[in-house]
Structure 1
Amino acid sequence: MIAPSLLSNLPATLVWEDDTLRILDQRRLPGETVVETVATAEAVWRAIHELRVRGAPAIGVAAAYGLCVAMQPYRDTAIDAFRDRLTERAAYLDSARPTAVNLGWGLKRMLSAAQRHNATTSLELYDALVAEARCIHEEDRLLCEQIGRHGLSLIKPNMGVLTHCNAGALATTGLGTATAPLYLAHHEGRPFRVYADETRPLLQGARLTAYELQVAGIDVTLITDGMAASMMSQGLIDLVIVGADRVAANGDFANKIGTLSLAIACKHFNVPFYVACPSSTLDLETPDGRSIVIEERGAAEVTSFGARPTAPTGIKVRNPAFDVTPHTLVTGYVTELGIVSEPYGQNLASMFGAHR
């Protein structure tokens, strides 16, 4: 794997070492690099809910290790009591955020591993959980690199690429999803430029994507969300590639709010619109985008910019964290097994049904 060399100047999203989970507090970037130890189930829940760790793949890995953290106080209990508590703690962690499917996916995989393991003691079962979490972590790194290799052909010399929110290394534990082809193209010396939407209201594009691409030495320009269509009209954008938090069986997908607007603009200006995601983000049990639960966050994120109030006191606010883009606006899905094209309902099921 070449990922470590490409990300050598970027802090790790999370680290598991000596039975301790440490996370990078992404709310503090780019101004501060703060790594926190999360030592209880409640601390893990808050870290996910408050976006200290965010990005669908990274949430899945954090949830897996978080369940290990949650079970540490019960390693000396009877095995049946340990298993009962495991189910309860997994349900608790799963309530931290509703939209990104990787949270529930990671926890279900941990519970499945526990069910398969013929442990005779709680300590033995705990060790099996840690081993499974490590496996999920390593797989995430590998999936990112595979997505990068399959998407590399999309990055042509001297093209302009637009991305939204942060589907980068900071949203995963590897090269990212939408950014993985960019990192590999840069590694090959291929010239191109990236435009990063700032991504209101929490500015993940400005604080995170622009930051990590700049650290990697990639030519990146920060723009406000409202500039994207205008940039397309000027011929500056040749490709849009975004991540996803949940992909329904028919190819509809949920991603950071503002993604739908980009997809509509791409359709109008005939700009290819790709979604990069691992199979862990696919939800083949959800038939279409209408069935995806959209997280609604607090008003303060919209009524202020940083610590400064920017709206009238008492104003009514809507703050959906995600929107749903219909599959008819998607050019293709870049996955670890290859690029998937229409018809998505058939091709996603064919490629990933048995694989998952």
Structure 2
Amino acid sequence: MSGAERALRVEGELMPRRLWVLGLGLGLVMTMLGAGSASAAPKKRPDLVVAAVSVTPGKVVAGGVLKVGDTTRNKGRKKAKRSVTRYALSANKKWDKKDVVLGSRAVKVLKPGKKHAVKARSVRVAAATRPGTYWLLACADAKKKVRESNERNNCRVAKRRVTVTKKAFSWPKVGMVKVNVSAVVDVRLRSHSHSTDGLWDTKRNSDVRLNGKGSGWLLLEGGKPESLTWQWSGATAAGTATLHAVGEAFPGCPWTASGKLTRSATVPTTMNGVPEGGSVTFPASKKKIGVEFHLQHTLGTQAVPRETNCADPMGPMSPPLTLELRPYWWFKDPTYTIGWTNDFSKITWREHGEQHDVAPGGDGQDQSYTADGVLTVTPVT
């Protein structure tokens, strides 16, 4: 008789087979439960985790410094020997070979439940780090020197993300640097012709914006810009011209003419097959300031009819209304104001000239030219 049969005797008689089988199954279940409970008992090992992590600032230049802090804690049931907590920038919140390692710090021996914290440790972002936005990771026991009860909970992600920007270009004190140039230039022309006897008065206004780009060279001397020259690779222009004129064909026969023309066009950047360019001469010494953009283009022309209630011997049409982009062209020197940012990335200028002509008899013409330019300069690295 087996041990199981002996154990299931009742008052010297064997249990019925059905009860015997039920009892045997119950015994097996109890045995298994007992084994499971034993294996589920917590292992008496340390368990290192990063309980908190912080980073400042939220934006840093590649090659710059971040301040990181963390609290490393032993949440296990046994003392943890000395370890290392490591920091990295991660694109996906997971520690892998693509992460940018920032540095690490030593963690002292930690008894169960104890922690070790640093508030602001300086770490440098490698100059070769690709610009972008990253998560900051702090991982306890980074060198895997501590045998832990849980090896999957060592890392923590900071709430604040870090944006890495490209390292600023360092301009030389002396020499030439190849640059890309983009330009926005607003050109305003004003013309007023009039007679002393009041028989005619004509006003013409033109406002054109030039958008262009090109490449060239910035010459530096003593750490300051000396001159900038470039060739245009593409340009467009858009603007509006207006005309308002009044006069008399003869006494008692007045006429008026008004028109408005708005156009946009692509501006040719070559003249007879030769690339057009631009230049700026800076006040880097006692040299005269000068700005030129060497582009000229007629955007459009429109006929303007005269309006009159009498027979006008001068004809039904006024001179056509023309919208054009042009650089300064008068014989008198214009005045300039010019400035640039500390990193030479942006140059602004204003060019202004006026001319007042008086003909014999007192008839006259007043003209003015103003150009406001903004150049954005980017070194070719």
TM-score, scaled relative to structure 1: 0.20
Higher CA-based Rg: 2
Structure holding more helix per residue: 1
TM-score, scaled relative to structure 2: 0.19
Structure holding more strand per residue: 2
